[in-house]
Amino acid sequence: MDVSASNKRRSRILGALTHLYIQSARPVSSQLIKEEYSLSISTATIRSIMAELEDAGYIVQTHTSSGRVPTDRGYRFYIDSLMKQKGLSFEEKQSIKNDCCTASELAEDTINKVSRVLSEVSNEVGINLFFKFKEDSLKCVELINLGSGKVLLVLVTESGIIRNYLIKLDEPVETSELHRISNFLNTHLQGVALSEIKQKLYGCLERDNLSLLYLAREACGIFDALEVDNIFENECQICQEGINYILKKPEFNDIDKLRAILGVLEDKQTIEKILKSNLRPYKKVMVTIGKENKLENLHNCSLVTSKYKIGNRVVGVLGLLGPTRMAYSKLLPLVEYMSDILSEALSGHSLDGRYEEGYDEA
């Protein structure tokens, strides 16, 4: 549909119909549009325009003699060309930030909390995919002697992720030596990407300092002793909140539609694949409507997502999943703002420094 003088009325009717349907979840009649928007044109003229919109594929009549509802194409035009986003007020932003951010909180706790608050504010399903390792950097490590050749490796990343690894060494190592190795690692590897730790350590083996060589050799042996070398691979954390909101949507009174979406939400691999597909480099906030979703079980749903970062590195996707009848004008700025909160929190700045404190709990 071209937005021109001759098509302004069609655009206005489509915008009005879509807005009313999002609010009510009921098919919209010409009489309702005329009354709600105090239009000077007759209901007969509105019905004629609605017939044109239906022929063009923007709306559909669900039952004979009923009103119309937007199609996926109608929602797309509404979002891209007609909708005015309702920005959050200063008070709303402060309330959301206060609910999401707690002093001395770790990254994983923040991610879970943001997903929960997003779901509660929106009354939709909040979903979150966070890439936890590989591209993250080392903040500190600690080696704890458990006796009998067993060592606990505690690893803390710059984004606040903590992981424990149990290592079985061929020979016992004195606690004092483990402390020396821990100090060596923290001195030489702080800020190094996890994927580059081994390369950095083996580089130390080429130096002349005998003390350094010994410590580097022992450190290499400890990392090599990990049974599964997974600290250098991507781990994905998926968080979902507010699935109960799906049950309250009239669109999902149909048990088959409800079963389809619940089946998707129960499959973490499917959710991961869907969210990864929304990591487009050229767009921060994305909306996928109905059949734009490649997965058939989501053809009655829309997904609103926004990327978040640590520094300049994208580390996750935050989003909302709900029926195609979503309050897009409110939810798009909400998802974008809350992804910004996550970026600030995980980057450890712009929040009074509170998150830098949380990393030291290991």
> pLDDT by residue (tens digit) across 168-220?
887 788 899 899 889 988 988 888 877 778 778 877 777 666 777 778 878 88
- CATH number of the domain at 185, please: 3.30.390
pLDDT score, position 103: 52
Do 347 and 310 contact (CB within 8 A), yes or no? yes
| CA gap 72, 293 in Å, rounded | 11
Domain count, the chain: 3
Q: Are residues 156 and 46 in the same domain?
A: no
User: Within 10 A of 76 (CB to CB), how many other CB atoms are there?
Assistant: 16
What percent of the chain has pLDDT above 90? 48
Instruction: Give yes or no: residues 94 and 58 share one domain.
Output: no
**Exposure on the CB side of residue 228, measured as CA atoms within 13 A:** 5
- pLDDT(58) > 90: yes
Q: Assess contact for 263 and 229: CB atoms under 8 A.
A: no
Residues 125, 268: one domain? Answer: yes
Residue 188 lies in a domain: yes
Say whether both 250 and 108 belong to one domain: yes
Confidence of residue 347 (pLDDT cuts 50, 70, 90): confident
Residue 349: band (very low, low, confident or very high) from pLDDT cuts 50, 70, 90: very low
Mean pLDDT of the residues in the chain: 84
User: Of 60, 82, 104, at which residue does a domain stop?
Assistant: 82
Strand spans (E) along the chain = 59-61, 68-70, 125-131, 138-147, 150-157, 162-168, 236-241, 285-289, 301-310, 313-323
251 and 348: one domain?
yes
Considering the domain architecture, whether residues 197 and 302 belong to the same structural domain is answered as no
Q: Which of the listed residues 162, 191, 224 is the one where a domain comes to its end?
A: 224
pLDDT tens-place string over residues 254-309: 999 999 999 999 998 899 888 888 776 667 899 999 999 989 999 999 999 999 98
Which of residues 162 and 296 earns the better pLDDT score?
Answer: 296
Residues 272 and 349 in one domain: yes
What's 78's domain CATH number?
1.10.10.10
The residue out of 224, 255, 278 marking a domain boundary is 224
SS3 label, residue 307:
strand
Whether 307 and 243 share a structural domain? yes
Which pLDDT value is given to residue 195? 72
Residue with tokens 């088959």: 256
**Domain-located, residue 20:** yes
* Domain range enclosing 205: 138-224
What six digits make up the tokens of 197? Answer: 């730790």
Residue 63 lies in a domain: yes
Question: 124 with 101, same domain?
Answer: yes
Same domain, 244 and 318: yes
Instruction: Clarify whether residues 248 and 350 are in a common domain.
Output: yes
Q: What is the DSSP code string of 201-257? A: HHHHTTSS-HHHHHHHHHHHHHHHT-SS--TTS--EEEEEE-GGGGGG-GGG-SHHH
Does 255 lie in the same domain as 125?
A: yes
Does some domain include residue 230? no
State whether residue 5 is helix, strand or coil. helix
CATH number at residue 109: 3.30.450.40
What average pLDDT does the segment 101-124 reach?
82
